[in-house]
Structure 1
Amino acid sequence: MQLHTDKDCQELLQALNRTLPYIEQVLKTHKPLFDGERYLTSEELCSILKMSRRSLQDYRNKGILPFIQLPGKVLFRESDIRKVLEERFRPAYDGSL
């Protein structure tokens, strides 16, 4: 049987304290999949696309971005957003002919 010293216990506690912020970040940002699909809130999508809530609302109103309306909540299916972005992708013009 191996005895642990106070120093060993102190080092273990310090290591656990250093990992705590990483664990807290994962708990805040991890979203479990629902039937293999991830759903985003308006706030999350605005942050990802770097746009205002008003612009997001305009895209919804114009039918550009598909969404799911629940009482008091709007969700966007991640795969739908990816599809819209891919369909609207335009390569940069490099000037060569």
Structure 2
Amino acid sequence: MPIYLRTAGYKIYFWSNESDEAIHFHLTKGNPTKNDTKVWVLSNGSFKPAHNKGRIPEKDLSRIFSAMQAYYFDFIDFWKTYHNGEVKFYN
């Protein structure tokens, strides 16, 4: 489980065995679980929540998305490192 970034008290990570899915990340304040919030990375440079099972407040999501915006291309490169250069975007 690679952790990409920590911001606003949250870990931003993905599971290394999710190469069959479109590029995304999960958010958690504690230890990662299957019920953490999942966010799609879109090809237009933005983000879209897949679900918010972690019940992260909108204010915090907004802060996290702003932080991730600055690292958008770096995150894609980080994903590629773990998934053999493969990147699929959510449509």
Specify the TM-score bucket, using the shorter chain as the normaliser.
under 0.3
Q: Return the structure number with greater relative CO, CA threshold 8 A, min gap 6.
A: 2
TM-score for both structures, normalised by structure 1 = 0.20
Higher strand fraction: Structure 1 or Structure 2? 2
Larger radius of gyration: 1
